[in-house]
Amino acid sequence: MKAKKINHPRIYLEILNKEGPFVTIKYKSNKFNEYGNRIAVVEKIDLNNILDKFCNDFNEILDKLNDIELIKINNYIKTQHKVLEHHIKKNRYDSIDTVKESIKMMENFKKELISL
């Protein structure tokens, strides 16, 4: 199978500041602390690169950004199921367990996003 670089989905938690199209935003992604819990990261992003239209309502911006991330999560899970099928056909038992764990973690991440 051809390896493809996948950007890990994010859960956008809070907009800290907005200056025109630029927002300073807090999100969770693929960074963990020493206890295995996801940690929040702060980053400044340009909404023009992500959204076609956006307003000044922070909640609406967060909802739109998280809707985009939900699509990424669903695509990631779908891709991982295809990878799992490939490893099952090839009887790669260690890889099967790893991919199953990856799917489980991403489904938990999806539940966390939906519960916001």
Summarize pLDDT for 101-111 with one digit per residue, the tens: 999 999 999 99
- pTM: predicted TM-score of the whole model, two decimal places: 0.86
* Residue 3 predicted with pLDDT over 70: no
- Please state, in angstroms and rounded to a whole number, the distance separating the CA atoms of residues 112 and 106: 10
Mind listing the pLDDT tens digit for each residue in 71-101? 999 999 999 999 999 999 999 999 999 999 9
Residues 39 and 43: their CA atoms lie apart, in Å, by 13
Do 29 and 113 touch, CB atoms closer than 8 A? no
Query: HSE of 9 in the Cβ direction (CA atoms, 13 Å)?
Result: 23
